[in-house]
Structure 1
Amino acid sequence: MASLSPVVLALVFANLCMPTCAYHFLILGGDGGGSHYYDATAIGKELVYRGNNVTVLVSDMYAKSVSKGEDSQLFNFVIYKSLVTEDQFQNVLANQVETGMRGDMVSMIKNIALAEILFYKQCRSILIDDPVIDLLHSEKFDLIIGDFWYICVGLVAQLLETPFALLTPTAVSMSMQSQINVCPTNPAYIPELVSGLDTKLSFFGRVSNTLILSLNSIANRRMLHRYDQLKVDLNIKPQISTYDALSEAELFFVNTNFVFDFPRPLMPHVVPVGGLTTKPSLPLKEVNISKINLT
């Protein structure tokens, strides 16, 4: 599947002009580190290899690492001042893993709420950083590519008045994603990703799945409402909700494969691109078995 992504990107972002012509892309794929960042920059690398210009927006938490990393020669980096520290994010992530291993659902819900607050603060960090916004305005990007879980992508796109595409690093079967990209979601045979159910649903399984879908939808709307207030405070098209702003995405790239997802219909603008970060395997090192102590 690693070969699928370049093919899809070549079809979507094909240069129809002379070789000297290049498009200018802005990537919002997290703060500058982590799995979401690597997914988004995998697309950025393919775009650079095809002769385009790519700018990546990252937090000052990762300014040093990205400037010295392997991507430093490929991308232009714009650094914004963060209202959140790296330790805060790492603590939330560590707590999420710990509570998940324990199966402590109450603590997991509380931790998710804390993560949502941190993401909201990061979004505000970007939007109130006037020098950064002015610089992004002056670049006149052709397209923004953003991670779906960073809700701020929709707000930045509206502020810059630039079309955008969303990348989802998880399966299609998520209530919030399905609602925003208008993929039909039938709880009678499409289990919610976090429900623990499979496609062979009994009557009670369908009832349970419907309740989970309803609760998730309410929670998603509640989370987005916080960004609605931010749009009003900063006068970023306040008449359009954050939900509707995200729905305006031109394309939805989903880093998954039909083998790993539940059967479901897909809309034409939802494109599976499984294998974004996969690479050819490296040869194994030769090991002298006679020197290994097996006792």
Structure 2
Amino acid sequence: MRLIHFCSAWLLLVFIPRGCHGGNILVLPAEGSHWINMDILLEALHSGGHNITVVRSNKSWYIKEKSSYYNTYTVQVERNLDQEFITKIIFDYIKFERGAIPLTSFLNTAVGMIGTIVDVHSTVGELVSAILDDKELMRILQDSKFDLVLTDPSWGHGVILAKYLNLPLVYNVRWLIAGEAHLAIAPSPLSYVPITGSGHTDQMTFLQRVKNVLLQLINLIQNQVVVKLVYQKLCDKYLGSDIDFNQLMLDADIWLMRVDFVFEFPRPTMPNVVYMGGFQCKPAKPLPEHLEEFVQSSGEHGVIIMSLGTLIGELPHDLADEIAAAFAKLPQKVIWRYIGERPVTLGNNTLLVDWMPQNDLLGHPKTKLFVAHGGTNGVQEALYHGVPIVGLPLIFDQPDNLHRIEVRGAGKIVDIFSMTGDIFYQGIQDVLNEPSYRLNMQRLSRLHRDQPMKPLDTALFWIEFVMRHKGAAHLRTESYRLPWYSYHSVDVVLFLAGAVLLVLFTFVFFIRCLCTKICRSKVKRE
């Protein structure tokens, strides 16, 4: 009898309609490390029963054409961002910065990089044209009845395609075209919100605030140049001349922000900004046998791991030799992800690898230190596992990410452009031998993990929320539609100032008339 009841209950569970249904999601990703965290999100969406379709170029660097959890449409293009392109940018930047003085370094970052930024987004623009000019592909996309577009807005292609297909839009975001995403959507008082590249905290001196304002003006100029030369032209061609790309960029339903306020400085935010910092982090899995054997051979000294991320696989030879020589003097074992020519000073304690299971190594109990370039993914994985950092920031957001760790006492920055082997060695020794670095990072880790929902679950909820409700218009502010003078109430201030002046003028005129009348009466009596 119990068996019959069990079978009946099982059949009911199988055949009763489910309360949720799988969605149909179109994904326009960015390349490099941006794809790595997008890929994690897509795999989780697939596990939740959703159908995923990715549009990629035939020269895609990271995005595979075949996958077990997403479908692809591959678009033919002449060029794309690849390892060679990025390596050249990095090497040119390092070469310049190693011989630069502070002023020329600032000007190079502010002005000299504009041409490179425009070139990068021009390749994205070519991808947009290839997609929208492919009539068969567009027919397929329109017939597929997608529920939403998921994109990384550091590239502008997903924004344009979402508008063309008239679909709700969700961002997996930290950066827009030329700046941190908060600066575009949320009130950002420059008195305490540090601009990317400033190296400031939320407590700035007067001169730091001056620099902060200048950097924001430069960001706005860079953004306008890229939009005018690349994306606005695409909007005019495919969406109509009445569509403003800057407004289109801010019209997303949900902004899934890849930070949290354990890492970020407190600042104003908006209702449709959802924080999922560390969503890619997870408990460590067992290491491959050869790596586990190497790690265990470190004994009580433990292991240091070094990686400069997906974009920076190698360094100039002399710089790599300095780093290798410093590692050779340490009692710890070192695992270094490096694909360049083998440094001549490499010690027996250092293992070079083309790839490493970074998250699993950071979660290993023998890992004592992470030498990192400061990319968001790596910094958040170190924070999740409580591993202190020696930072070698190079470009983009890396100095600011590491500065946030350093001011919280959880790491130390070494200037890679002026670094020698001895300076690097001393930086490692400082972090290894001062317990406060590890204790502070472990405190940050406890704060980060103490949340009502896992960051990945939060992200999935809000993506499904947009699908259930066909958008999230009630969470979107309309402030970006206002002209700047209305947003900052300049017109109201001028009106009120005019009214006050009118009252004062009327009062002065009345007093003057009264005085004149009194004086005339007095003269007549005399």
Bin of the TM-score, shorter chain as denominator length: 0.7 to 0.9
Of 77, 85, 100 in structure 2, the residue corresponding to residue 92 of structure 1 is: 85
Task: Report the CA distance between 1:123 and its aligned residue.
Answer: 2.1
In structure 2, distance between residues paired with 1:244 and 1:271? 20
Amino acid at match of 1:216: N
* Residue 160 of structure 1: how far off its partner (Å): 0.6
Q: Which amino acid is the alignment partner of residue 185 of structure 1? A: S
The answer to whether structure 1 residue 253 and structure 2 residue 256 are counterparts is: yes
Cα offset, 1:19, TM superposition:
5.2
TM-score, normalisation: structure 1: 0.80
Residue 50 of structure 1 aligns with an amino acid whose one-letter code is: G
- Cα distance in 2 for partners of 1:256, 1:176 equals 11
Structure with a larger share of its residues in helix:
2
Q: Distance in 2 between matches of 1:179 and 1:124?
A: 28
Counterpart of 2:212 in structure 1 is 209
Residue 66 of structure 1 aligns to a residue in which SS? coil
Name stretches of at least 5 consecutive residues in structure 2 with no aligned partner. Answer: 1-16, 299-332, 334-347, 350-526
Partner of 2:64: 66
Shift of 1:216: 0.8
After superposition, the Cα gap between the structure-2 partners of 1:53 and 1:27, relative to the gap in structure 1 and judged at 3 Å, is: same
**Match in the other structure for 1:167:** 172
Q: Which has the larger radius of gyration?
A: 2
Structure 1 residues 101 and 184, CA gap change in structure 2 (3 angstroms): same
Say which of 182, 188, 202 aligns to 1:178.
182
Find the residue that maps to 2:226 and give its secondary structure: helix
How far apart, CA to CA, are the structure 2 residues paired with 1:159 and 1:237? 10
Contact 1:252 1:271 in 2 (8 A): yes
1-side partners of 2:84 and 2:43: how far apart? 30
Question: How big is the shift at 1:85?
Answer: 4.3
- Contact 1:25/1:53, CA 8 A, preserved across alignment: yes
Distance 2:220 2:62 in 1: 39
Cross-structure match for 1:29: 29
The separation in 2 between residues aligned to 1:63 and 1:219, in whole angstroms, is 26
- Distance in structure 1 (CA, Å) of the matches to 2:75 and 2:215: 37
1:84-117, Cα deviation, whole Å (9 max, x unpaired)? 145xx33331133224434265354432232122
Q: Which residue of 1 aligns with 2:74?
A: 79
Distance in structure 1 (CA, Å) of the matches to 2:151 and 2:161: 10
Which of residues 39, 42, 56 is equivalent to 2:40?
Answer: 42
The 5 Å alignment of 1:90-129 reads 90-102=83-95, 103=97, 105=105, 106=108, 107-129=112-134
Question: What one-letter code is carried by the residue in structure 2 that aligns with 1:286?
Answer: E
Q: Which moved more, 1:100-109 or 1:150-159?
A: 100-109
Q: Which string of whole-angstrom CA distances, capped at 9 and with x for unpartnered residues, describes residues 111-156 of structure 1?
A: 2232122222222222222222221111111011000111111110
* Contact persistence 1:83–1:125 (CA under 8 A): no
Q: What is the distance in 1 between the residues matched to 2:126 and 2:63?
A: 22
- 1:284-295 aligned at under 5 Å gives the runs 284=287, 285-287=292-294, 289=297
Q: Which residue of 1 aligns with 2:418?
A: none
Structure 1: which 5+ runs fail to align? Answer: 1-16
Q: Does 1 or 2 have the higher relative contact order (CA < 8 Å, sep 6+)?
A: 1
| Deviation, structure 1 residue 74 | 0.8
SS at match of 2:203: coil
Aligned counterparts of 1:120 and 1:93: Cα–Cα separation in 2: 18
Identify the residue that residue 6 of structure 1 maps to in structure 2.
none
Letter paired with 1:155 = I
What is the letter of the counterpart of residue 121 of structure 1?
Answer: E
Paired residues for 1:185-196 under 5 Å:
185-196=188-199
Q: Which amino acid aligns with 2:207?
A: F
Contact 1:29/1:40, CA 8 A, preserved across alignment: yes
Residues 54-108 of structure 1 show CA distances to partners (whole Å, capped at 9, x for unaligned) of: 111111124997244xxx111111111123145xx33331133224434265354
- SS of 1:51's equivalent? coil
Corresponding residue of 1:228: 232
Equivalent residue letter for 2:148? L
Partners of 1:92 and 1:114 within 8 A in 2: no
- Superposed CA RMSD in Å reads 2.7
Q: Report 1:120-159 matches (<5 A).
A: 120-159=125-164
Structure 2 distance, partners of 1:98, 1:18, is 54
- Aligned letter for 1:90? Q
The answer to whether residue 279 in structure 2 is matched with residue 276 in structure 1 is: yes
How far apart, in 2, do the equivalents of 1:145 and 1:90 lie?
25
Contact 1:28/1:40, CA 8 A, preserved across alignment? no
- Amino acid paired to 1:101: I
Whole-Å separation in 1 of the counterparts to 2:88 and 2:133: 29
Tell me if structure 1 keeps the 8 A contact 2:258–2:276. yes
Report the Cα distance in structure 2 between the residues aligned to 1:248 and 1:289, rounded to whole angstroms.
54
Q: Larger deviation: 184-193 or 196-205?
A: 196-205
Q: Cα 1:39–1:198, aligned 2, differ >3 Å: closer, same or farther?
A: same
The number of equivalent residue pairs is 266
Is residue 65–residue 74 contact of structure 2 (8 Å, CA) maintained in 1? no
**Separation in 1, partners of 2:34, 2:77:** 18
